[in-house]
Amino acid sequence: MAKVLNPDICVIGGGAAGLSVAAGAAAFGVPVVLVERARMGGDCLNFGCVPSKTLIAASKHAQAIRAAEEFGITAGEPIVDYERLQARVHAVIGAIAPHDSAERFESLGVKVIADTARFVDDRTVAAGDHLIRARRFVIATGSSPAVPAIPGLAETPYLTNETLFDLKRLPEHLVIVGAGPVGLEMAQAHRRLGARVTVIDSGKALSSGDPELVAIVLDAIRAEGTVLHEETAIQSVERHAGGVRLHCKNTQGRFFLDGSDLLLAAGRAPNHVSLDLDAAGIRHDVKGIAIGTDLRTSNRRVYAIGDAAGGLQFTHVANYHARLALQQILFRLPAREDRDIIPRVTFTDPELAEVGLGQADAREKFGRVDVVCWDFSANDRARTDGLGQGLIKITVGRRGRILGAAIAGAGAGEMINGFALAVANRLTLKHFRGYVAPYPTLSEIGKQASISYYAPVARNPLVRSVIGMLRYFG
């Protein structure tokens, strides 16, 4: 006989979004049931952010050894022990895992059920031998790697982010399908570790980014030896000579490409097929669960957050969604998702970071806008550290309001924080002009860009006349 549970909140999914909701609700003494069928911590901990950034960090060390000669230090080509590197990746995962574990959440007062959840009706979820009837449900089931419909792929071995970090050897020639953030991050990391790397995309690389800033990133990646085929169709794929062969076509014609390993990085698909959402009256499609700006589904008892809701797929978005959901569930306070305040970062080297509106979108929404630019070459810290090319672009509205910012360059992911704060709080360039930045730091780039916006004031005849008059009075 099924055990009936009546918590205040039932969370489906133990990734970043679900864990944030469960922990937040439990902190206020609210009864919570959390259902997770796989590993606690979800994609971010086990297959995504944590292992990928650990691998990227290792690759940066390898590249620093190569670049040491520019600083008068001779080190030679780095020797990469890939098996030890992967052991470190899993050690980092293991060090973080207890924080996301079922044991920790049970200690917080959360009832954790390790099973698959499915809706029985509009207010009941079944999970194993439990029936859960909660006041509110939160779907936070995340997403999985999308597998493109390429002829022959089903018969050809391939990797995704869920299997890439189990490799014990460095790929000889890694072929990556997809030139988005994940594809290019892994391309550059593996190239720096010593693999040959080729990336193929049916469209433009980093297509959603500012073209001028994207070009800075792509030039750097290509300069290190990664081959990038944009606007190239993959007509079929097959096993070949112990590896894979891709048959491709672009404007130059047909060609084939041989590699030792194939990595799919062509987007992600939401994990909601097994939930039986129709039974709960929840609208959905292959892109995700339909939600309003308040994150509620067509069933008003149910919220969908994080990757499950489609849209921006970042861990920080999952945490943001969790806060909005809790605000409504616990305190009955209205909350609305604002995607303009969400920063987006691609962790290549140089990094690409954006927040708010770009020039075109801002003009469509507000009419006349200005764009302020400042080059990294004008920054002393960028010069001392040999950081290469970089550029910041700030979209500015009336009275200097910061509508958005985009940065390509070293440390862009850290630098964008200040602009994310500005966009979220409707700050102006005057706020950036007025604060004191320590010297020498990369943060001065944003401040100098802000100062340049007001530079024309110094050439204003009226302002100069006032200054002259004040000088006359001593």
Taking only the tens place, the pLDDT of each residue in 206-263 is 999 999 999 999 999 999 999 999 999 999 999 998 899 999 999 999 999 999 999 9
Q: Residue 275 annotated as binding?
A: no
Judge whether 180 is annotated as a binding position: yes
The pLDDT of residue 174 is above 80:
yes
185 marked as binding residue: yes
pTM metric for this prediction: 0.95
183 carries a ligand binding annotation: yes
**Is 184 labelled a binding residue?**
yes
Higher pLDDT, 470 or 272: 272
Asked if CATH classification 3.30.390.30 holds for the domain at 341-455, the reply, yes or no, is yes
Check if the beta carbon of residue 372 is closer than 8 Å to that of residue 429.
yes
Residue 342 has pLDDT above 90, yes or no: yes
Distance CA 277, CA 32 (A): 21
Handedness of CA 168, 47, 180, 57 (dihedral sign): negative
- Residue-level pLDDT at 454: 86
Q: How far apart are CA 159 and CA 167, in angstroms?
A: 9
Q: Which two tokens stand for residue 58?
A: 């290792």
> Does residue 474 register a pLDDT over 70?
no
**Do 389 and 219 form a contact (C-beta atoms < 8 A)?**
yes
Superfamily of domain 153-266: FAD/NAD(P)-binding domain (3.50.50.60)
Phi/psi of residue 13, nearest 5 degrees: 120, 125
Fold of 3-40+101-145+269-337: FAD/NAD(P)-binding domain (3.50.50)
Residues 6+ apart with CB under 8 A from 385: 410
For the segment 188-202, the average pLDDT, to the nearest whole number, is 98
Annotated ligand binding at 307? The verdict is yes
Q: Is 141 annotated as a binding residue?
A: yes
> Could you tell me where in the chain the CATH 3.30.390.30 domains are found?
341-455
pLDDT, residue 114, reads 97
53 is in an annotated binding site: yes
β-strands 402-409, 351-356 pairing: antiparallel
Determine the pLDDT at residue 134.
98
Confidence of residue 310 (pLDDT cuts 50, 70, 90): confident
248-307 tens-digit pLDDT: 999 999 999 999 999 999 999 999 999 999 999 999 998 899 999 999 999 999 999 999
Under the banding of pLDDT at 50, 70 and 90, the label for residue 449 is: very high
DSSP H or E run through 244: strand 243-250
| Residue 202 known to bind ligand | no
What lies within 8 Å, CB to CB, of 66 at 6+ separation is 75, 77, 78
Q: d(Cα 441, Cα 380) in Å, to the nearest integer? A: 8
Does the annotation flag 3 for ligand binding? Answer: no
Q: Is 41 annotated as a binding residue?
A: no
The answer on whether 242 is annotated among ligand-binding residues is: no
Per the listing, tokens 């079944």 go with 126
Q: Is 178 annotated as a binding residue?
A: yes
Give percent above pLDDT 90 in the chain.
92
Residues of the chain with CATH 3.50.50.60: 3-40+101-145+269-337, 153-266
